[in-house]
């Protein structure tokens, strides 16, 4: 069988969004080629440029797949300029193994490391998150994912309830469960993301601590209500437009009084608008995380009233 390789090189900030688009149209996975981690500098981050590659079998539906891919790239290009994709015809090979050579362990924050499932964990006392990045839903290399992981590490207290809205690969939920969350509710509107999260939860031995399901805000609200609880920490690593839609629809109501929300997937010039809407919903800003052109906004819901406050005035 002949294959068509489609590839383009993008800045690291855009790599995961492009890879996610590729994964929706390429039936055999996606390759992200970044700088290999120098074992003498384990804190090193990926190269500023990442090459995203996908392989399409030369089948009857190839033209339709490429048309859909190119349309998606055009829309992404309206947010951030992208180069034109390159096309190369290649001979048959076991492409499912090609991308494995390009992944290495990645350290995040003070305590976490992300390790491809086929490698051994590096020595040390970091907590390991095992990932199979074949479908490129979120491997931890993108700035928005890194910032969310760092926020989970900083904000989460053992025994708390975590909600991950738009879970992608599930890596944020795996981190929360590994760091001691009592329960993690993880959902996504994409059934492939749900499947990837279910598989990853089993790989990381955190399935018993997670509820993983298809849906968005309403589905998450129903699960929390059925359990008679609200989230202590809510993670929403999405996009500006989606966050602006979800906030007025009651996103903050899923979080207990005094709980925290992490809103990510926001470019620097979008942060003010998201912040205005969030604060208009009664959220109190706590911190802005920055990584390149990306921002993550951390908020607190209105704390519960102090005991005896009703009688203070009298």
Among 104, 135, 155, the domain-final residue is 104
Asked if 29 and 90 sit in the same domain, the reply is: yes
* Residue 310 resides in a domain: no
- Please compute the mean of the pLDDT values over residues 268-289 and round it to a whole number: 95
Identify the helix (H) or strand (E) that includes residue 65: helix 62-79
Q: What is the pLDDT of residues 194-203, one digit of tens each?
A: 988 999 999 9
Q: What is the pTM of this model?
A: 0.75
The yes-or-no verdict on residue 100 having pLDDT over 50 is: yes
Give the pLDDT mean for 178-186: 98
* Residue 307 maps to a domain: no
Which of 238, 241, 234, 249 has its CA nearest to residue 300? 234
* Vertex 185: Cα angle to 183 and 188 (nearest 5): 160
Range of the domain at 80: 3-104
| Structural domains counted in the chain | 2
- For residue 93, pLDDT over 70 is answered with no
What's 50's domain CATH number?
3.30.70.120
Q: Which of 104, 122, 146 is the endpoint of a domain?
A: 104
* Strand ranges in 141-279 using DSSP code E only, listed in sequence order: 161-165, 183-188, 210-214, 231-237, 255-267
Q: Which of 73-77, 152-156, 220-224, 277-281 has the lowest mean pLDDT?
A: 73-77
Lowest-confidence pick of 27-36, 72-81, 191-200, 205-214: 27-36
Strand 112-116 to 106-108 pairing: antiparallel
Tell me the average pLDDT across 105-127: 90
| Within-domain flag for 311 | no
Q: Are residues 95 and 131 in the same domain?
A: no
Predicted confidence at residue 313, as pLDDT, reads 44
Residue 206 lies in a domain: yes
Tokens encoding 117: 């499932």
What average pLDDT score do residues 226-230 get?
A: 97
Q: Do 129 and 90 share a structural domain?
A: no
Model pLDDT, residue 237: 93
Mean pLDDT of the 184-212 span: 93
Per-residue pLDDT at 127: 95
pLDDT digits (tens, 9 = 90+) for 43-64: 444 456 778 888 888 887 888 8
* pLDDT given at position 165: 97
- Residue predicted with more confidence, 314 or 193: 193
For residues 160 and 253, state if they share a domain: yes
Instruction: Using the predicted structure, report yes or no on whether residue 220 has a pLDDT greater than 90.
Output: yes
| Same-domain pairing of 52 and 166 | no
Average pLDDT over residues 118-141: 78
Same domain for 179 and 31: no
Q: Which DSSP state fits 221?
A: H
Of 83, 104, 125, the position where a domain reaches its end is 104
Residue 230 scores a pLDDT above 50: yes
Residue 155 confidence class, pLDDT cut points 50, 70, 90: very high
The enclosing domain of 285 has a CATH number of: 3.40.50.150
């Amino acid at each position: 069988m002949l294959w068509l390789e489609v590839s383009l090189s993008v800045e690291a900030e855009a790599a995961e969004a492009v890879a996610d688009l590729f994964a929706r149209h390429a039936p055999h996975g996606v390759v992200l080629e970044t700088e290999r981690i120098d074992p003498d500098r384990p804190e090193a981050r990926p190269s500023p440029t990442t090459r995203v590659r996908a392989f399409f079998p030369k089948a009857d539906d190839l033209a339709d797949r490429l048309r859909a891919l190119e349309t998606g790239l055009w829309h992404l290009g309206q947010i951030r300029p992208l180069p034109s994709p390159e096309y190369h015809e290649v001979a048959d090979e076991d492409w499912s193994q090609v991308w494995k050579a390009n992944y290495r362990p990645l350290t995040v924050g003070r305590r976490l490391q992300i390790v491809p499932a086929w490698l051994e964990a590096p020595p040390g006392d970091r907590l390991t998150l095992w990932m199979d990045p074949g479908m490129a839903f979120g491997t931890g290399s993108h700035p928005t994912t890194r910032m969310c992981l760092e926020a989970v590490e900083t904000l989460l207290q053992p025994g708390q309830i975590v909600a991950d809205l738009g879970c992608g690969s599930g890596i944020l939920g795996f981190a929360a469960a590994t760091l001691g969350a009592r329960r993690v509710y993880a959902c996504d509107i994409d059934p492939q993301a749900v499947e990837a999260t279910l598989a990853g939860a089993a790989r990381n031995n955190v399935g018993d601590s997670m509820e993983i399901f298809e849906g968005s805000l309403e589905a998450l609200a129903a699960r929390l209500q059925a359990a008679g609880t609200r989230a202590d920490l809510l993670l929403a690593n999405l996009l500006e437009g989606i966050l602006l839609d979800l906030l007025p629809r009651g996103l903050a109501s899923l979080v207990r009084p005094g709980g925290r929300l992490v809103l990510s997937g926001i470019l620097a010039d979008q942060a003010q608008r998201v912040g205005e809407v969030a604060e208009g919903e009664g959220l109190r800003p706590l911190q802005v995380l920055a990584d390149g052109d990306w921002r993550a906004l951390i908020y607190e819901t209105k704390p519960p009233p102090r005991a005896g406050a009703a009688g203070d005035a009298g």
